[in-house]
Amino acid sequence: MCQQWFSVAGLACDIVGVILIIFEWHVIFWRNYHQRLGDIDEHYARLNRKMSGEPEPVEEDNWSMGKHMWMGLREDISQRAKLAYVGMGLLLIGFVLQLIGALPTSVTGISSCV
């Protein structure tokens, strides 16, 4: 394998790593956006009920709901962390491969393509 191909492989790893990290950011950004929209809608609905004189609805306490929400949150975070760590790992591998591709052949011992 020629030394220059290490730079090409490094760039490919960098591109895929950045795309994974950007995808993760994009998913979280829109999830946060929609969650905030839901909170705003809920706030306005509560405000409209208060302004019209309607009583607040009484909600039953579901004691196990917190446990289920916590388990779902942990699962979501673990999946998102895996995606982000794979992206960062690919970036690191890409940088190392580009460094190997840029070093002189006397240091790496890998023949040049020329």
Over residues 14-53, the pLDDT tens digits come to 999 999 999 988 988 888 888 888 888 888 888 888 888 8
pLDDT at 59 over 90: no
pLDDT at 111 over 80: no
**Number of compact structural domains in the chain:** 1
Residue 80 belongs to some domain of the structure? no
Rounded-to-integer distance, Cα 24 and Cα 82, Å: 10
- The radius of gyration of the chain's CA atoms, rounded to the nearest angstrom, is 25
Rounded-to-integer distance, Cα 17 and Cα 84, Å: 9
First-to-last C-alpha distance (Å) of the chain:
12
Print the domain residue range for 108: 1-53+94-114
Residue 89 belongs to some domain of the structure? no
Rounded-to-integer distance, Cα 98 and Cα 9, Å: 8
Residues in the chain: 114
Residue 34 belongs to some domain of the structure? yes
Would you say the pTM of this structure is higher than 0.85? no
Residue 107 belongs to some domain of the structure? yes
Instruction: Classify 41 as helix, strand or coil.
Output: helix
* Two tokens, residue 113: 């393509």
